[in-house]
Structure formats: C-alpha cells, structure tokens
C-alpha cells in the first residue's frame, strides 16, 4: 500500500472533500487524524464531535486506521494539540491536508468584521497554525506532504472578499512553504477544487441557480454544469497522488481539480515592464502616455464602470 507507515492529518475531514481525501489516504494504508469540530457551513455552532467520530469510524469499519479530533483550526493551540495527538497515536506526522472551510458571503460594504475574521481564521490562519506545528516534525524526518485547499476565488470573486483573500493567502503560504521546506523533502501544493458538497451545492444554492436560470441570468448550459457537478470523489485521487513518493518533485504549485479534469495555474510572473532611463522619477504625463502601450496591451477591465441604474439593478 502506498501510504503504509504514513500518518496524515486532514482538517475539515469529517465531510465533503476532506472526508473523501481522508478515506482515500486510509485506503492506501495511511493512519488518519480527522480534525473537525463539526461546524455549520458558516462556522457557527454545528454538530460537535459527531461528524469527525463518524468519519473515523467509517474508515475503521472499512479496515483502515483513523481517530477523531473535534478541534478547530482557528485555535492555534488546538492545532498544536492535534499535531501532537497524531505523533503520539501514530508515531509521525507525514501528511497534512489543510482543508477546513466555512463560508460567510456578502458584498464588502455589507460584510461584518466577524465574517471576515472567521473565514480568514479558518482558511488561512488555520493553515499557518497547522503548518507551524507540523513543520518541525516533517523537517526533522526530512519527509512531508502539505496540501492547502484553495479555490478559483483566489483569482478574484464577487460577494466573498473574505474567502477570496483567504484562498489567495493560502496559495501564497503554499509558495512560501515550498521554498522554506522543500530542501527538507517536504512539498507544499494547493488544490483549487470544484465538487458538490454542502458548501457549494445545498438546496438553497440550487434554488438560487434555478431562479437565475428562469430570470435569464445564467445559461441552461451553466445551470446544468452547476447542478450536476461531480462529487468529492473526483478530488481525492489527485490529492493522494500529490502525497505520494511519485510527486516528490512537485512543489509550490496550484492545481485546478474537478470532475474529469486536472489543470495547473500559471506561475505569477511580471509579464511586461516600463523602464525609465537613469532610474529617474516618472512624470504623470510619461506614465499616462506610455503605460497603456507598454504594460496593458490585451488587458480587459474585470468590471468596467456601469451607468448608475444598471449597477443598482445588479445588487
Ligand atoms: N466544494 C467545492 O467545490 C470547493 C470549491 C472551492 C474550494 N473548496 C474548499 O475545499 C475545502 C472543503 O470544502 P467542502 O466543499 O468539502 O466543504 P464541507 O462543508 O463539506 O466540509 C468542510 C469541513 O470543514 C469543517 N470545518 C469548518 N470549520 C472548521 C474549523 N475551524 N476547524 C476544522 N474543521 C472545520 C466543517 O465542519 C466541514 O466538515 C474548503 O476549504 C473549501 O473552501 C471547495
């Protein structure tokens, strides 16, 4: 088995994509800690230890090894406790899947600071906290695999600046970890998934899309693609591949993974520059005259200004 003698922590492993990854790793012999406090979709309250216990029990029932930790990644010390639990129970910490997630969408002018804080704490601060505690073990043993769950939202999104920022932050964490830990045999990569889970495709989301279809705001093709989206089982095999020895040299990358498709994002590189001879200070007139030609050929404004009446109608 591919992950015999490997121990994994999967945050948010009680449901959705995390659970599918935990099961896939366990099927290949990994011993798994399911770290999940059973939160509701928006991070409030929830079901406590039940979902994590149930997910761990399902793995054990299938012949695997798993334990539950009903801890929150938003609690820095709880992250330390969970890493130690993995070490104590299974002897090592080899694989870390930073997957825990909650949603609190609103336009920026309506978003309470609490919604910013909980989303950033779960997706991004939690990723830092888990790596902070796991990295010493991985570094000492000179082997480790870290996957930080991203999202297409890292490229810019409407109505979820907290989520998009946290996912963008996760990709930056991935890139930094690849550089800090790579030489110790530890890789870090990001997966931007698309899969039907309670986060993406509950009844309210389906109903919202049906209304948008009826109002002519989305095409039938787009509607069909959303409501028939494949499940988390399409994400798990690629995550397992990234955790394997076969992927030892894949580091600091972001992948798009969805039903029947795996893609890789560009490296973010400067694509053009304007240089002032002698490094003198640019004048406003020079910038206004030269920037469009030198830097912005082929560029499209993602959201050009609209007449006031159109903009108000879209809210
Ligand atoms: N499903 C998709 O299409 C999709 C798309 C883009 C990104 N993602 C990302 O994938 C990850 C998994 O999402 P999912 O769709 O499986 O959602 P999900 O709601 O099915 O599962 C998320 C799990 O995270 C747990 N969780 C919430 N707060 C936590 C905390 N503080 N500590 C530990 N666990 C916590 C929840 O209890 C839940 O079990 C998330 O990071 C999400 O942002 C999913």
Q: Residue 315 has what pLDDT?
A: 56
Per-residue pLDDT, 314 = 55
Q: Which domain, by its residues, includes 64?
A: 7-195+230-264
- Is position 106 within any domain? yes
CATH number of the domain bearing residue 169 = 3.40.50.720
Q: Which residues of the chain carry a pLDDT beneath 50?
A: none
The answer to whether the CB of 169 is under 6 A from ligand 1 is: no
Cα of 97 to ligand 1 centre, how many Å?
A: 11
- Give every CB contact of residue 296 below 8 A, 6+ residues apart in sequence: none
Instruction: Determine whether the shortest distance from the Cβ of 193 to ligand 1 is under 6 A.
Output: yes
Q: At which residue do the structure tokens 């890493």 appear?
A: 83
Within 8 A by CB and 6+ apart from 128, the residues are 173
The verdict on the CB of residue 129 being under 6 Å from ligand 1 is no
Which pLDDT score, from 0 to 100, does residue 117 have? 98
On whether residue 209 sits in a domain, the answer given is: no
Q: Are the beta carbons of 189 and 171 closer than 8 angstroms?
A: no
Quick check: is 289 in a domain? Answer: no
275: number of Cβ within 10 Å:
7
Is 216 inside any structural domain? no
d(CA 154, CA 62): 36
Report yes or no on 307 lying in a domain: no
**How far is residue 127's CA from residue 275's CA, in Å, rounded to a whole number?**
38
- Is 223 among the residues known to form the active site? no
Q: What is the pLDDT of residue 310?
A: 62
Domain membership of residue 297 (yes or no) is no
Can you give the pLDDT at residue 256?
A: 98
Nearest atom of ligand 1 to the alpha carbon of 35: 33
Interacting residues of 173 by C-beta distance below 8 A, sequence separation 6+: 124, 127, 128, 131, 148, 188
Q: Is the CB of 170 under 6 A from ligand 1?
A: no
* Residue 249: per-residue pLDDT: 98
pLDDT at position 22 is 98
In this structure, is residue 284 part of a structural domain?
A: no
Distance 208 CA to ligand 1 centre (A): 20
The count of structural domains within the chain is 1
- C-alpha–C-alpha distance, residues 140 and 200, integer Å: 38
Specify the length of the chain in residues. Answer: 315
State the catalytic residue, choosing from 163, 184, 265, 299.
163
For the residues of the chain, what is the DSSP string, one character each?
-TTTT-EEEEETTTSHHHHHHHHHHHHTT-EEEEE-----TTSSS--TTHHHHHHHHHHHHTT-EEEEE---TTSHHHHHHHHHHHHHHHS---EEEE-------B-GGG--HHHHHHHHIIIIIHHHHHHHHHHHHHHHHT-EEEEEE--GGGG--SSBHHHHHHHHHHHHHHHHHHHHHGGGTEEEEEEEE---STTT-SHHHHHHHHHHHHTTSS-HHHHHHHHT---GGGTHHHHHHHTSGGGTT--S-EEEEETTEEEEPPP---------GGGPPPPHHHHHHHHHHHH-TT---SS----HHHHHHT-
Distance 1 CA to ligand 1 centre (A): 27
Give domain status of residue 117, yes or no. yes
* Mutation choice for ligand 1 from 197, 239, 265, CB with most ligand atoms inside 8 A: 197
Q: How many A from CA of 98 to the centre of ligand 1?
A: 9
């Amino acid at each position: 088995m591919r992950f015999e003698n490997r121990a994994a922590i999967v945050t948010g492993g009680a449901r959705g994509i995390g659970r599918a990854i935990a099961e896939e790793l366990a099927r290949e012999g990994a011993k798994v800690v399911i770290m999940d406090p059973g939160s509701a979709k928006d991070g409030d309250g929830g079901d406590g230890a039940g979902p994590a216990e149930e997910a761990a029990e399902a793995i054990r029932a299938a012949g695997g090894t798993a334990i539950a930790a009903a801890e929150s990644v938003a609690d820095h010390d709880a992250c330390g406790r969970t890493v130690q639990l993995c070490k104590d129970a299974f002897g090592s910490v080899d694989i870390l899947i930073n997957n825990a997630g909650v949603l609190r969408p609103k336009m920026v002018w309506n978003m309470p600071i609490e919604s910013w804080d909980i989303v950033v704490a779960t997706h991004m601060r939690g990723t830092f906290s888990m790596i902070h505690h796991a990295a010493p073990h991985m570094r000492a043993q000179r082997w480790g695999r870290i996957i930080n769950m991203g999202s297409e939202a890292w490229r810019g999104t409407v109505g979820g600046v907290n989520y998009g920022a946290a996912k963008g932050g996760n990709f930056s964490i991935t890139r930094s970890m690849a550089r800090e830990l790579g030489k110790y045999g530890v890789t870090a990569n990001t997966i931007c998934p698309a899969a039907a889970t309670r986060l993406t495709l509950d009844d309210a989301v389906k109903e919202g899309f049906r209304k948008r279809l009826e109002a002519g705001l989305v095409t039938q093709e787009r509607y069909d693609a959303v409501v028939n989206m494949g499940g988390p089982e399409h994400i798990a095999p690629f995550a397992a591949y990234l955790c394997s020895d076969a992927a030892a040299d894949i580091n600091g990358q972001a992948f798009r993974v969805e039903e029947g498709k795996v893609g890789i994002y560009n490296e973010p590189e400067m694509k053009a520059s304007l240089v002032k001879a002698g490094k003198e200070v640019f004048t406003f007139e020079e910038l206004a005259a030269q920037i469009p030609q030198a830097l912005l050929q082929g560029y499209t404004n993602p959201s050009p200004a609209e007449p006031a009446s159109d903009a108000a109608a879209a809210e």
